[in-house]
A = this chain, B = another copy of it.
Amino acid sequence: MLSFHESADAAVEGISDGATILIGGFGTAGQPIELIDALRRNGAKDLTIVNNNAGNGDTGLAALLGAGQVRKMICSFPRQSDSHVFDALYRAGKIELELVPQGNLAERIRAAGAGIGGFFTPTGYGTPLAEGKETREIDGRGYVFERPIHGDFALIKALKADRMGNLVYRKTARNFGPIMAAAAATSVVQVADVVPTGAIDPESVVTPGIFVNRVVAISPTSMLPGDGQ
């Protein structure tokens, strides 16, 4: 069921210890920072977080990591120039890392939403990231077997939602949003605007409302970078 919420805190209610959370964004583009901050205030621990990266600077995902709420990161690119929070936790042995090639990460999330039990991908074949995994030669090419990544919750950011939960995104901030919304039991979306039903062209809907459970409008002025929440 679809619901609209007054605050990010209300939108993330019910996330409990041990949950797997898919978090949208590639770097800060599409990062649902207010929802992540609300998850930090919510206090759920022992989380598994799926995100392309492992936090930038000291805000958003980095702050959630810093608060000690995350047991495990599943991501493709944890190490960045400003990923010092993750780096310190990792070196101290305080966080688990499952490193996944970015395309396999995306395809595994997509598989979860689409009901695929697993698939063979050429990405990673013959590399250390395929170690211990089932492999198969298909038509002369090597493939690795990969499994879907389901989320208990997804936290994503879109540009607009209508009252049916249909979403559109903005430029490269779209990234993981559509596939994460479909892969989570409960998807939570922060949008700049909620518009009336019918205000989004049916041909241009990117995420149909069927994949959306909770929506909260966060005014875009507070979504500018450097807002420091």
Contact = CB atoms under 8 A, between A and B. Distances in A.
A169 B115 contact: no
Nearest to A142: B117
Protomer copies? 2
Given A203-B169, A204-B203, A116 B119 contact: yes
Given A169-B203, A203-B169, A122 B115 contact: yes
Given A201-B204, A203-B168, A203-B204, A138 B117 contact: yes
A91 interface: no
B120 A138 contact: no
Contacts of A120: 116-119
Given A116-B120, A203-B204, 7 more contacts: A107-B114, A107-B116, A117-B120, A117-B139, A117-B141, A171-B203, A201-B204
